[in-house]
Amino acid sequence: MIINGINYRTVWMQDASVYMINQLLLPFKFEIYQSKNYIDTANAIKTMIVRGAPAIGATGAFGLAQAALQYEGEDFNDFRKYIDKSFNLLNSARPTANDLSYALNFVKSKMFVAGSITSSKMRSFELARGYADSSVEMCRAIGEHGNKLIKNNQNILTHCNAGALACVDFGTALSPIRIAHYSKKNIFVYVDETRPRNQGASLTAWELAQEKIAHAIIADNAAGFYMSKGKIDMVIVGADRIAMNGDVANKIGTYEKAVLAKENNIPFYAAAPISTFDVNCRTGNDIPIEERNEDEITHIHGIDENKNIKKIRIAPHESPAKNPAFDVTPARYITGIITKKGVIKPNKEEIAEFVSRR
């Protein structure tokens, strides 16, 4: 992605440190966060320094390689137990996105080399780097296929952030928008603010502004208004986990947008890499939904007149809050799922065929 005229990835690894764009500070401050050990990397995932299913997956892969590289013992059996412990900590950081466990299993299942700790360490790093590179290519391919759905002079609604910041590069939902923009199509993006963490207003809008893609931030509750006025031609969102029947878990509020789109005869697409499909998840009812801290509802972050980022309370002290981070959109509301292989229907047959080809 282009940031201040320079091409960045969201997350990368150098030596034994994992580096990532600190999304907690955006859009007010651009800063690279350095994670020096796998425990710190797990915490970066948990606290949302890095966020977005594909980005979480790549960060987890790097975190496991980081754990391997920093192991100081000489007993191979002990090394395997240590990797298991590291795996479990990283895997528990965020429960809903399938990409995290997918990436961790990808590295762990291939990293051990014939009883050699040194070779296993190097292999883990090569696997993590290869995983991140393949994620970039998948997102680029998603963009190419999704671009074919976008016509000139169309208006597109997004929800949450499914851009390059949510991936390693390109994005999922924003990848078709990027490719359409690079193809000189005249497009306009309506950006849901996406309460409670405002990923749309803080991250998606920031990415679009960096690449000079025409857009406007709207309140979450305004999407139906613009749909009813004929101002939105299609909806593209990302996904955190996709069940084998086509049900999609994504940022809270996605379900509402899908129902509104259906009512207004507007195509609704989810965009996702293979790592988001959970072959062990039969329907959306099987998807674990993360409940986050109520402070995300009762408080908000912003910048004051002195350009200091501050957290302020916006709700009564006496009022508790509930904060599910995701909801599940049933397959019947989804027009198609944009993948690296093209657009597939959200049904058992097409999903089974897609995941079997990987």
Taking the mean position of all CA atoms in its chain, how far away is CA 204?
12
Candidates 99, 192, 240, 278; catalytic one: 240
- Whether 40 is a known active-site residue: answer no
**Rounded Cα–Cα distance for residues 181 and 167 (Å):** 19
d(CA 83, CA 92): 14
Q: Tell me how many helices (H) and strands (E) the chain has.
A: 12, 17
Structure tokens at 230: 């004929």
Distance, in Å, from the CA atom of 221 to the CA atom of 216, rounded to the nearest integer, reads 14
Q: Hey, is 242 helix, strand or coil? A: strand
Site of tokens 């762990």? 108
Do 192 and 156 contact (CB within 8 A), yes or no? no
- Cα separation, 73 vs 92, in Å, equals 25
Q: Catalytic residues, which ones? A: 240
